[in-house]
Amino acid sequence: MKISAFHLMPHRELPADFEKKYESVWVTPPWWEVADPARVGQYYNWTLDELIHAARMGFDGVCTNEHHQNAYGFMPSPNLMGSVLARATNGSNVAVVQMGATLPTSNPPIRVAEEYAMLDCISGGRLVAGLPLGSPMDVNLCYGITPMEHRERYREAFALTLKAWQAKEMFAWNGHYYQLPTVNLWPRPIQQPHPPVWVPGSGSISTFDFAVDNEACYCFLSYSGARSAKTMMDGYWNVVEKKGRQANPYRAGFLQLVAVGENDADAEAKYARHVEYFYHKCLHVPAPYFAPPGNQDYRSLVATLNNPVRRAENPKDLRYRDFVDKGYVIAGNAATVRDRLMEEVVKGLHVGNLMVLLQIGSMPHELAMENIERFGRDVLPSLRRVWDDEGWVNHWWPEKLRGAAPVRTPAGVAAGGA
Amino acid sequence: MREQTIAVWQDKVRMRVLSDGSGPPLVFFHGSWGLTWDPFLAELAKSFTVYAPEHPGTTPEAPDDIYHLDGLWDLVLCYDELFGKLGLDRPALVGHSFGAMVACEVAAAYPARVGRLALIAPFGFWRDSEPIVNFMVLDPGQMRARVFRDPDGAAAKQLLGGGGDNPQDGAAARVRLMWAMGTTGKFIWPIPDKGLKKRIHRVQAPTLLIWGKEDRLLPPVYADEFTKRIAGARLQTISDAGHCPQLEQPDAVVRALRGFLTS
């Protein structure tokens, strides 16, 4: 089992009436009214400190991700954050999990291949290369990519990236969307033939196929917990089986929100308002933004519109206890958190690469550090050995770190220096 | 009403063409919400032989044909091939919204192929002072309010749905609408200015602009961009109509078109 700390880098201090006053947290939130660059600088530094703390607490990996024009999570360049993390965790067994730089919005997309190769070199071969399609908000609405071209561009860029890392000869790429006369990547990654590739998704069937066909780890980045993901992940495992692959749990990743306290009451007292802030404000996005016409191919569109799985709940109608009851957030004391993670997520969805979101919404730095500390100290050790008895190899983890468990290092010990 | 499906673009793009009537040929280019043989077209068919092709990808059974076209140049060439296969000789082109932009592009690319040009609220230009809302990511209620003068009127419901139909019909209509916006959006995302300003001077056909006075999607001031660039072009505004005057005020639009096309 590999367990990584995920971070969105949200705006932590949105006004109380944000979701009433503004139409969206994404694409159109007014910077000048709700943000302050000096304060935002503090958020970035807290984010880095929190992830570095996770690395020191024995997490297997630290994850950053790319989003644009929003207050929900704004690391427009995850690789800037990743490079700080790579440097700060040198000498440890922690993977730098980029979840990651978005190919269709990087032009030319070999920029991602180059930066990931840099991260792999800087980290001494500890990179996990997430290659996301990118959300419609980021790619279509903020970066102007035509929805109908979004997936085609992604697939071409994905193939180009993999070839650019591995080709022994220079090559010309005469693609549909990208033409590069001489591809000759400098640098190349340390990991051979290339860093492990993760493909994040949100349940689209065509992404299941794509992930399996390309031998990538499929990661379901969910905010609604394992129960509502069950059907989707079962669908993924069906595809894995149909395509003749083994049900190696490391083929799957899953993101879970987690809040650890002394007990249920302590968790509620500490975390309730931050969880509600996350679901009420950070996910405040008009529904049509998620599905610009043309983004879904015709067959998926027909399937989606003809078989609406029961109308999704509006998280704005739910409160903290609902989120916990439904498993959107797993919260409570360490034993509860461990048991629910094990039953609902790890075993329930057959997941080997678990990601946990521990800084949630408005959660202040000190509390985020506490949540990370509690999870790393009281929960993580009891999950680490899951799957070991089945003998699976995590092909989707940096080879040099597969057998190694990161060790906790006391705070204050300077990291750095490979 | 007749229908035929014509394959162009090395037979990779199949376009169904609805047609009816007799008289001089008229090609109608539909907008982003798909083609329906509506009372407006039926009325035009009393004076013209109306050909209404479906934008590539919106023809039933051929949704993926759209992936064979990359940009406006490809699309305009498809229409050139289509006109050839239909044997059309200098037809009048009438277009609405996105379709009007395409009609104008065809008239600019092939000035000698086009008899007359009538553009109903055409896309094609952008003014920073009059930004055009991205209607493709509005919810259905907001879209009706943007596109129609009367969002609750029959015309709005006919084009954009919103009646309490049975769910299966509703889903089919929704698929049709979303795919029509997706396949047309391929040529106007994210800003509907794709260089017409560089080409529009080539239009030679006598041109009429028609605009709903209460167009809340594409403000009528955009007519200036066309009238100032096409010699002799004239603007006719339509009262009590939004972005789809031919649906909200079909009689007035047909009258304007008959007057212009038969003069």
Residue-wise pLDDT for A171-193, tens only, equals 999 999 999 999 999 999 999 99
Q: Give the separation between CA B202 and CA B216, rounded to whole angstroms.
A: 29
Instruction: Tell me if B189 and A140 make a contact (CB, 8 A cut-off).
Output: yes
- Are B136 and A144 contacting, i.e. CB atoms less than 8 angstroms apart? no
Collect all residues from B whose CB is shorter than 8 A from any CB in A.
Answer: 63-64, 66-67, 70, 134, 136-139, 168, 171, 174-175, 178-183, 185-186, 189-191
Q: Name the nearest CA neighbour of A24 among A37, A34, A38.
A: A34
Contacts of B64 in chain A (CB under 8 A): 297-298
Q: Give the separation between CA B102 and CA B187, rounded to whole angstroms.
A: 9
Long-range interactions of A42-49: CB distance < 8 A, separation 24+:
A43/A9, A43/A10, A43/A11, A43/A12, A44/A9, A44/A81, A46/A365, A46/A368, A47/A7, A47/A9, A47/A75, A47/A81, A47/A359, A48/A81, A48/A84, A48/A85, A48/A88, A49/A365, A49/A369
Q: Give the separation between CA A161 and CA A153, rounded to whole angstroms.
A: 12
Q: Give the separation between CA A57 and CA A76, rounded to whole angstroms.
A: 27
**What pLDDT was estimated at residue A414?**
44
**What pLDDT was estimated at residue A98?**
98
- Are B84 and B247 contacting, i.e. CB atoms less than 8 angstroms apart? no
Evaluate the CA torsion angle B172, B173, B176, B177 in order and state its sign.
negative
- At B112-166, the pLDDT tens digits run 999 999 999 999 999 999 999 999 999 999 999 999 999 999 999 888 876 555 5
pTM: 0.95
B8 Cα to chain A: minimum distance (Å): 21
Q: Name the nearest CA neighbour of A397 among A96, A161, A28.
A: A96
Q: Give the separation between CA A324 and CA A225, rounded to whole angstroms.
A: 9
Collect all residues from A whose CB is shorter than 8 A from any CB in B.
Answer: 140-141, 144, 146-149, 152, 176, 286-289, 291-295, 297-298, 301-302, 305-306
Q: State ipTM.
A: 0.95
Instruction: Tell me if A298 and B181 make a contact (CB, 8 A cut-off).
Output: no
**What pLDDT was estimated at residue A222?**
87
- Are A301 and B175 contacting, i.e. CB atoms less than 8 angstroms apart? yes
What are the residue ranges in chain A where pLDDT is below 50?
Answer: 310, 412-418
B28 Cα to chain A: minimum distance (Å): 23
Copy the structure tokens of residue B80.
């050139």
Q: Give the separation between CA A189 and CA A118, rounded to whole angstroms.
A: 7
Question: How far lies B38's CA from each of A239, B19, B35, B145, in Å?
Answer: 45, 12, 9, 21
- At B93-113, the pLDDT tens digits run 999 999 999 999 999 999 999
Helix (H) or strand (E) holding B224: helix B223-227
Copy the structure tokens of residue B90.
């200098």
**What pLDDT was estimated at residue A410?**
59
B127 contacts: CB under 8 Å, gap ≥ 6: B221, B222, B225
Instruction: Tell me if B186 and A146 make a contact (CB, 8 A cut-off).
Output: yes
